[in-house]
Amino acid sequence: MLNATKKEKFILLVISFYFLFSIKHIIYGGIFYDDWALTVGHLYDQSFSEKFDDLVFKTFLTRPIGGIYLAFLTELKKLDHLYIIINSTFWLLSALLIYNSFAAQISKQGRNYILLSLLFPSFASTMIFSPVTQTLGVMSIFFWSISIFYARNKNFFKSIIFFIVSVLTYEVSIILLFFNIYLLSVENEKSKTIKKLLKLIFFFGVITISIIIFQILLSKIIGYNASLKYAFWFEGNQIFFEEDFLQNIKKYFFKPLILIIYDIPKLLLSSIVFFKFEIFYLFTLILFACLILINFNSFEINNFRKTHSKYILFLAIVISSISVFFVYLLVTSVPQVNGYYNRGLVGLFVCFSLFLGFLNDIDLKSKITNNFKHFFIIILIILNFNSFSIQQGNHIKAEIERQKLLNEITNFYESKKNKTSEVLKPVIFMIFDTYLNQNYNDETIFSEEVEDLYFAVNYHTNKNVIAKRIYKDKYCYNILSINDNRIIGRVTSKDRKFKEKEIAIFYEYSKMNKDLYFYSNSKFIKLSYDNKKNYEIFKNILKCQI
């Protein structure tokens, strides 16, 4: 440490701060149950080979590298701390590789700003706070960061290989290919750069199309299409598009622009309102501000000397950012900064961080405008950190609420079991909040995306309790329907393009072998097999006509 350069000392300080900042999340953070449920929740009692077969050849068929990684990762079973440590470490390594890959193009100060923003992905936070299934976002960027490190060293073959591996881990990295092209093509002479650039654009275009064809063919050969995320598919010699394909493109075409000019700035600025006067929060914020101050005062700004290099890098950032939304259009999904749904914005966040480093090195000629530029960059980096810090704190609070609810259910079942040896395995219809009361960016207690409550309760009660979630509606719109021998409710659509909830059968009375309960406000109310009585109970508690 004593013989380290200023650069090395600063990097060591940043790494130390990163793990200090992460320690609270590592100890208290927990994991999303829908994230864990997708890979382990329904597989935790299977052998490794059975789980490997499911994850690689079914669930993550079009992301085979990701499936292999998850098969090994989830051998940890339910050790939340290790999931978070592994995920956070890979993200740190990715950021350091990206930092080093642009050493010839961006100044030390600029790259330090890239690092200080990149480590705290405010509007792509899912991959950090959801460290099992969504760790694929981290791993994809990790493999991509290796690919650009090789691109920086002009190792064409290794750069291509790791780029392909990154996309077959998770597709979020596919739009970042322009940075591979940039680093592989940039030369001292403009004419040589342009010539290489055109060749590489064509070559990477072929690779990208080949990956998509490979995924489609793989799903067709194995006979499992459920993992395909594209809005089109092939049958025979014809191409088919999902229902309302063109209408959805038209409907969401301007959503990306709204995201950039409104949603992301709003997320960052609104973090000011959630400013916390807590010791750990204030301590880490002060330390982070010190890192910015050290960076600002300790390093010279090396403005771009190669004009063509400067413009090509800017072009790569712009095209990559735009391409994020072309990918969304390809799958007709909806880009969002909100909580668990921001997982597709990882590539855009990388572009955001690289842009801050690029902007730092632009000489605006006037001292006043340059000072304003640096002030603007620093404010963005602080707001980005503040946003991420608030989300981290809220995820810890959400984990406390999750455990409180799961403990109540477990204790309730154990008390029933201790009273009689003939207690039936209960089905519990449950009402609780999706988000925290002090919700900042949709930090969920239990998500609406998959049946995470079911998997969580199933795990904590050793498969002895079945939980069915009732979704509240302020207009009492079709919360429940009790008729004949069924209790029917509505669950969240798996397709984010459609906000309406879908009908689902919660329970059928074909076999009267379950105890039925209704949970609300920490109370368990016994139900019967008489729907008339259940109707009155639900109506009185829900305050709705059902």
- C-alpha distances out from residue 222 to 179, 196, 282, 405, Å: 34, 38, 53, 41
Q: Fill in the DSSP letter of residue 316.
A: H
Percent of the chain with pLDDT over 70: 82
pLDDT at 109 over 60: yes
Give me the pLDDT at residue 226, please.
67
Segment among 372-376, 434-438, 500-504, 529-533 with least mean pLDDT: 500-504
Instruction: State how far the Cα of 146 lies from the Cα of 130, in Å rounded to an integer.
Output: 23
* Res. 112 pLDDT band, cuts 50 70 90: very high
Instruction: State how far the Cα of 407 lies from the Cα of 47, in Å rounded to an integer.
Output: 28
Instruction: Let me know the angle formed at the C-alpha of 431 by 427 and 434, rounded to the nearest 5 degrees.
Output: 125
Residues facing residue 466 across a β-bridge? 427
pLDDT tens digits for range 231-253: 666 666 667 666 776 777 777 77
Give me the pLDDT at residue 510, please.
60
Strand order in the sheet with 515-520: 466-469, 426-430, 515-520, 523-526
Mean pLDDT of all residues in 282-295: 92
Hey, where are the domains in the chain?
6-394, 395-542
Top pLDDT among 12 and 453 is at 12
Within the chain, what is the greatest distance between any pair of CA atoms? 84
Mean pLDDT of all residues in 120-126: 95
Top pLDDT among 333 and 10 is at 10
* Residue 219: both structure tokens together: 């799903």
Q: Which strand (E) or helix (H) includes residue 164?
A: helix 156-167
Residue type, 402: R
pLDDT at 305 over 60: no
* Res. 332 pLDDT band, cuts 50 70 90: low
pLDDT at 515 over 70: yes
Residue type, 194: I
The pTM for the full model equals 0.90
Instruction: State how far the Cα of 392 lies from the Cα of 18, in Å rounded to an integer.
Output: 13
Give me the pLDDT at residue 194, please.
85
Q: Are 86 and 67 in contact (CB under 8 A)?
A: no
Average pLDDT of the chain is 84
Give me the pLDDT at residue 123, please.
95
Task: List b or e across 136-148, with b for residues whose CB sees 16 or more CB atoms inside 10 angstroms.
Answer: bbbbbbbbbbbbb
Residues in the chain: 546
pLDDT tens digits for range 28-44: 988 877 667 666 655 56
Classified as helix, coil or strand, 179 is helix
Among 20, 26, 143, smallest CA distance to 93 is for: 143
